[in-house]
Amino acid sequence: MSDHLSDRASHQSFWDEVVSAGGPRKYVESKLREHGVWVKRQDVLSMGSKQKKAYIEEIKAEEVVRKPLQAKVWRSYTALHIVHLGEEVFWQSDVSIDFFDPDHLSARLQQRNLPQIETPEELCEQLEISLGELRWLCYHREAATSIHYRSFTIPKKSGGLREIWAPMPKLKAAQHWVLRNIAERLTVHGAAHGFLPGRSIYSNAVEHIDSSVVVSMDLADFFPTFTFKRVKGIFRQAGYMDGIAALLALLCTEAPRQVVEDQGERVYIAMGPRCLPQGSPASPALTNAACLRLDRRLAGFAEKNGWRYTRYADDLTFSLPQARSEDAPSFSSMIKQLFGTVHAVVEDEGLKVRADKTHVMRVGHQQKVTGLIINGDDQPRTPRELRRKVRAMIHNLKRGKALHEGESINHLIGLIAFIHMTDPDQGRSLMEKLREV
């Protein structure tokens, strides 16, 4: 870090000299004069061949000195300025220009206890990186030979594979800073239970115990829906000026990409706009902030009409408590009204409900919320078939049999931890049996 500060001080000192000389052009000209190689430009068409030849030689001698001078000026300028952030990314070097509620931006930052950042240099200080590194992390290319993410797939509970884009260490550190210092401090609705301290799939399920009917809905393409513009809007609403909000949004988004081979070189082609990648540490918290108005609208409807409402990431859950249902006109009309309102609100917020992931669970049938059974007035619990599966996996290991395809010890430990969350005694018992193996 000390070397970076020393380099920055050197560039700043040199750039101050350039500015005091009247700018890059005048600075370079003054140095050319000092070296005695500055050439006043003339009309070569009026010269004879001998004079023209001598003039060209003078220009060549001047260029020998001019090029390294210009290169030095450009190096210092780019070390102290963002300059450009890639295709389709608007950037202006003067980040103080802002016409969006400028008088109240600072107050909003103070209200949320967010760091005051007004220049790219101040953001670099917070992230402990150089301006060049910030530009490198933010720069967007439609076709790139390298990116700041690695991709892999994990199996979905419903079948198929989910693609995860995990940031490389340098970008991951910057995203962790955004998460801790900004994203986690943004306003989130009380109906949200995902990715929040003290909340979990268990706290989400508790809200719906003893229900006469439970309705669950999933939002389609949840993370990709929150594009660069929407993420930038989150930071703008938090109180950051346009330029800083753009940098923060670029740090937290990436375009969905397809990997192709071109003449033996791997190229990552952007297949859509930049959005929140599933795999970034900052993405979940930013989705909670982005869903604030959605949660307010759906919670308001639910409270007015006797429903209970929670959201865990892209999973929306509504339920009617047993006592409330006795006075309800009919389940059918209430559910029909619920579907119509939720679809309208969700689409108005730029999202979409997955029709194939909508479930209505009545009394007498298994009612499941974020993977936990909530029938009756008992506490949420893991499905019986899951507990049987875990016991069978441990039994097979004890007999020396291999786990089935797609299963692993880490997966088994995760399932036991899931059971432990709802039933600590049973979870400890299963873990002890696994240790014995």
With beta carbons less than 8 A apart as the criterion, state whether 294 and 346 touch. yes
Long-range contacts of 98-104 (CB under 8 A, 24+ apart): 98/241, 98/242, 98/243, 100/236, 100/242, 102/241, 104/239
Over residues 361-384, mean pLDDT = 91
- Percent of the chain past pLDDT 90, that is, above it, reads 66
pLDDT at residue 325 greater than cutoff 50: no
The tens digit of pLDDT for each residue in 105-162 reads 778 898 899 999 999 999 999 999 999 899 999 999 999 999 999 988 877 766 667 7
The pLDDT of residue 4: 59
375 Ramachandran zone, left/alpha/beta (phi>0; psi -120 to 50): beta
Is 351 in contact with 225 (CB distance < 8 Å)? yes
Q: What percent of the chain has pLDDT over 70?
A: 94
In which band, very low, low, confident or very high, does the pLDDT at 323 lie, cut at 50, 70 and 90?
A: low
Return the SS3 of 116. Answer: coil
Task: Give pLDDT tens digits for 41-63.
Answer: 888 888 888 999 999 999 999 99
